[in-house]
């Protein structure tokens, strides 16, 4: 735990500014003060947009943008311990998972640097029609404009990286509003970007009241694109309120997995490890496992002891697998949902002596229970016995979500059938759907979102094509 609380200012127009008001960041595990951050509002957000507008008047060449991104990746590598510890302290994320996140942020910046150097339009084959004869045409990819980025608490470093790095690669200036619970990693990234030579105004970080800052980002016409990662309720409302902006949404899921009788032998171990890391607070944490009849007995026998073997405790401890959820409200809600599931609690279902929810496995919950239909965002997994692959696919598709899903089988036909019929942005085969590498096109369908992140895809979203036609 932090011995001295950090004091941080906001980053606006290349300056670290005070506001006279403070946001406290407390450890979700101990309640200790981790840091205090200057709290911004409409005035700072407006100032940030002014700065971003000025910055974009003098575009940065691609090689400079790439160099900055590479330098930040290097610093993330050199300062790995500090970055991982900060993630762990502010989010209550176990060090094991925080280290993975810190390394992934490096990868996100590295891939964005590649995209900055590759950014180009394409030739249009003009003589393919009579009308185009005697003409040459091509497209340029131009930045959309100022990007308003809003990020959630659960990946305070890498999901911020997924906003900042592609935006810079695309040539867009950013006004970022990080989650109030976890603004410190975002401010550290701003520090690294400044030190890497990012000129004033290209990145502005304003922490504070979400409604106030969000309103300015929605209403100011100079903000051309909003990129939001967080809950559906907030995300879809933002999109409704900003019909003339490009609004990219990365939202929640109630991640399903199908386990067939011919699943590989390490399936239970893989799923036990991927259902509870960061206490299930990942948008693709495994939540609903549909086990086919013939696999049921063996899977339950293997899975439950592996869940019980997970180490629950202090996130600062390198051995801990499962730490706290983000706050008391989340803990109360999750315990309530477990209580009303209508299924049999095979393990967990209660808190330990430090008030941490024990990894919980519920067998055969009611189909209309919240744990079966909504995103739990906690250390809870349901096991549902199903009679056929058809039924399992139907149940997996039965919620409003569609981010990632998975199937474990060695039968190619079952795997391909699931890949075709599961209505999700991504389907993993013999890998937990919690898997994400940062270059992948990642995003959801249905209520889970409307975009794909991963630097190559995000850069496409943040630029638009401009056609140039030349009469020869
Ligand atoms: P959240 O409550 O929706 O908050 C996300 C961000 O939106 C925070 O910065 C929050 O600010 C801000 N916000 C809240 N109300 C706002 C408003 N009216 N206007 C503008 N901004 C507003 O989500 P969370 O609890 O932090 O994160 C968990 C959710 O994110 C889960 O649903 C999870 O599945 C989803 N998620 C999705 C992905 C993905 O890639 N698809 C990745 C990670 C998480 P404050 O913190 O100040 O309230």
Q: Tell me how long the chain is.
A: 472
Closest atom of ligand 1 to 237 CA is: 18
Nearest to 148 by CA among 66, 45, 61, 15: 45
Sheet-wide strand order for 256-259:
344-347, 360-363, 380-386, 288-292, 256-259, 404-408, 426-429
The pLDDT of residue 431 is 98
Question: 331 by DSSP, 3-state: which?
Answer: helix
Nearest to 356 by CA among 382, 381, 321: 321
The C-alpha atoms of residue 287 and residue 274 are separated, in whole angstroms, by 9
Q: What percent of the chain has pLDDT over 90?
A: 99
Using most ligand atoms within 8 A of CB, pick from 39, 184, 210, 402 the residue to mutate for ligand 1. Answer: 210
* Residue nearest atom 48 of ligand 1, based on CA coordinates: 210
Catalytic residue from among 172, 283, 375, 453: 283
Using most ligand atoms within 8 A of CB, pick from 24, 151, 152 the residue to mutate for ligand 1. Answer: 152
CB of 283 sitting under 6 A from ligand 1: yes
The two structure tokens encoding residue 408: 């474990």
The pLDDT of residue 69 is 99
Contact, 61 vs 143, CB < 8 A?
no
8-35 average pLDDT score: 98
Tokens 């200012």 appear where?
A: 9
* Residue nearest atom 37 of ligand 1, based on CA coordinates: 251
Q: pLDDT digit string (tens) for 366-389?
A: 999 999 999 999 999 999 999 999
- For residue 63, with 0-12 CB atoms within 10 Å meaning exposed, 13-18 middle and 19 or more buried, which class applies? exposed
pLDDT of 404 over the 60 cut? yes
Confidence band, pLDDT 50/70/90 cuts, at residue 3: low
DSSP 13-30: TTEEE--S-EEEEE-TTT
The two structure tokens encoding residue 309: 């073997």
Q: Do strands 15-17 and 10-12 pair parallel, antiparallel, or not at all (unpaired)?
A: antiparallel
Helix/strand/coil percentages in the chain, nearest 5: 40, 20, 35
The pLDDT of residue 4 is 87
Closest atom of ligand 1 to 403 CA is: 41
Q: pLDDT digit string (tens) for 336-364?
A: 999 999 999 999 999 999 999 999 999 99
Active site residue 283: yes
Measured N-to-C along each axis, helices 210-219 and 42-57 cross at an angle, to the nearest 10 degrees, of 40
The per-residue pLDDT of the chain, averaged, comes to 98
0.95 cut: is pTM over it? yes
Residues 6+ apart with CB under 8 A from 114: 66, 455
Catalytic residue from among 115, 250, 375, 453: 250
Q: pLDDT digit string (tens) for 221-242?
A: 999 999 999 999 999 999 999 9
CB of 150 sitting under 6 A from ligand 1: yes
Question: 309 by DSSP, 3-state: which?
Answer: coil
The pLDDT of residue 429 is 98
Contact, 193 vs 173, CB < 8 A?
no
- For residue 199, with 0-12 CB atoms within 10 Å meaning exposed, 13-18 middle and 19 or more buried, which class applies? middle
* Residue nearest atom 43 of ligand 1, based on CA coordinates: 283
* Residue nearest atom 26 of ligand 1, based on CA coordinates: 152
Q: pLDDT digit string (tens) for 234-286?
A: 999 999 999 999 999 999 999 999 999 999 999 999 999 999 989 999 999 99
Sheet-wide strand order for 174-177:
15-17, 10-12, 203-205, 174-177, 146-150, 223-229, 246-250
pLDDT of 2 over the 60 cut? no
Give strand ranges (E) for 293-403: 344-347, 360-363, 380-386
CB of 424 sitting under 6 A from ligand 1: no
Contact, 36 vs 23, CB < 8 A?
yes
For residues 175, 180, 185 and 189, what is the CA-based torsion angle, rounded to 10 degrees?
10
- Distances 405 to 324, 384, 399, 427, 452 between C-alpha atoms, Å: 25, 15, 12, 5, 16
Give strand ranges (E) for 404-462: 404-408, 426-429
* Residue nearest atom 13 of ligand 1, based on CA coordinates: 210
CB of 250 sitting under 6 A from ligand 1: yes
Q: pLDDT digit string (tens) for 65-123?
A: 999 999 999 999 999 999 999 999 999 999 999 999 999 999 999 999 999 999 999 99
Residue 71: Cβ within 10 Å count: 18
pLDDT of 403 over the 90 cut? yes
CB of 454 sitting under 6 A from ligand 1: no
Closest atom of ligand 1 to 449 CA is: 41
Confidence band, pLDDT 50/70/90 cuts, at residue 1: very low
The two structure tokens encoding residue 460: 């496409």
Give the distance (Å) from ligand 1 centre to CA of residue 342: 29
Nearest to 11 by CA among 43, 38, 42: 38
Q: pLDDT digit string (tens) for 145-201?
A: 999 999 999 999 999 999 999 999 999 999 999 999 999 999 999 999 999 999 999
Give residue 397's Cα distance to chain centre.
Answer: 21
Active site residue 260: no
Rg (CA), the chain: 23
Q: pLDDT digit string (tens) for 310-336?
A: 999 999 999 999 999 999 999 999 999
């Amino acid at each position: 735990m932090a011995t001295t609380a950090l004091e941080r200012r906001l980053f606006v127009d290349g300056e670290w500014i005070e506001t006279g008001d403070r946001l406290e960041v407390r450890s979700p595990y101990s309640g200790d003060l981790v840091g205090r951050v200057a709290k911004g509002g409409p005035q700072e957000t407006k100032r940030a947009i002014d700065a971003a507008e000025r910055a974009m008047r003098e575009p940065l060449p691609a090689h400079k943008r790439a160099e900055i991104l590479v330098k930040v990746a290097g610093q993330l590598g050199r300062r790995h311990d500090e970055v991982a510890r900060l993630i762990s302290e502010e989010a209550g994320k176990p060090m094991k998972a925080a280290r993975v996140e810190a390394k992934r942020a490096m990868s996100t910046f590295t891939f964005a640097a590649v995209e900055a150097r590759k950014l180009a339009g394409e030739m249009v084959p003009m003589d393919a029609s009579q009308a185009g004869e005697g003409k040459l045409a091509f497209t340029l990819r131009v930045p959309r404009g100022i990007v308003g980025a809003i990020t959630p608490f659960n990946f305070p470093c890498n999901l911020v990286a997924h906003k900042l790095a592609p935006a810079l690669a695309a040539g867009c200036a950013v006004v970022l509003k990080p989650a109030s619970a976890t603004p410190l990693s975002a401010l550290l990234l701003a520090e690294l970007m400044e030190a890497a030579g990012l000129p004033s105004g290209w990145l502005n970080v304003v922490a504070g009241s979400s409604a106030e800052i969000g309103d300015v980002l929605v209403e100011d016409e100079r903000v051309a694109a909003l990129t939001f990662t967080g809950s559906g309720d907030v995300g879809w409302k933002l999109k409704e309120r900003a019909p003339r902006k490009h609004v990219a949404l990365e939202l929640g899921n109630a991640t399903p997995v199908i386990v067939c009788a011919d699943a590989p032998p390490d399936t239970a171990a893989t799923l036990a490890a991927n259902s509870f890391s960061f206490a299930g607070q990942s948008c693709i944490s495994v939540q609903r496992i549909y086990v086919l009849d013939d696999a049921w007995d063996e899977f339950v026998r293997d899975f439950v002891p592996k869940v019980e073997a997970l180490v629950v405790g202090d996130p600062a401890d390198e051995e801990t697998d499962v730490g706290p959820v983000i706050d008391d409200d989340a803990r109360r809600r999750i315990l309530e949902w477990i209580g009303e599931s209508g299924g049999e609690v095979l393990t967990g279902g209660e808190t330990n002596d430090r008030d941490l929810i024990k990894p919980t496995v519920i067998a055969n919950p009611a189909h209309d229970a919240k744990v079966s239909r909504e995103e739990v965002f906690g250390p809870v997994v349901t096991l549902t016995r199903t009679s056929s692959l058809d039924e399992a696919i139907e149940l997996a598709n039965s919620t409003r979500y569609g981010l990632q899903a998975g199937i474990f089988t060695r039968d190619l036909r079952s795997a391909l059938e699931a890949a075709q019929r599961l209505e999700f942005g991504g389907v993993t085969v013999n890998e937990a759907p919690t898997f994400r590498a940062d270059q992948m096109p990642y995003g959801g369908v249905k209520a889970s979102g409307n975009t794909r992140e991963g630097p190559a895809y995000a850069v496409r979203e943040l630029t638009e094509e401009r056609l140039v036609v030349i009469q020869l």
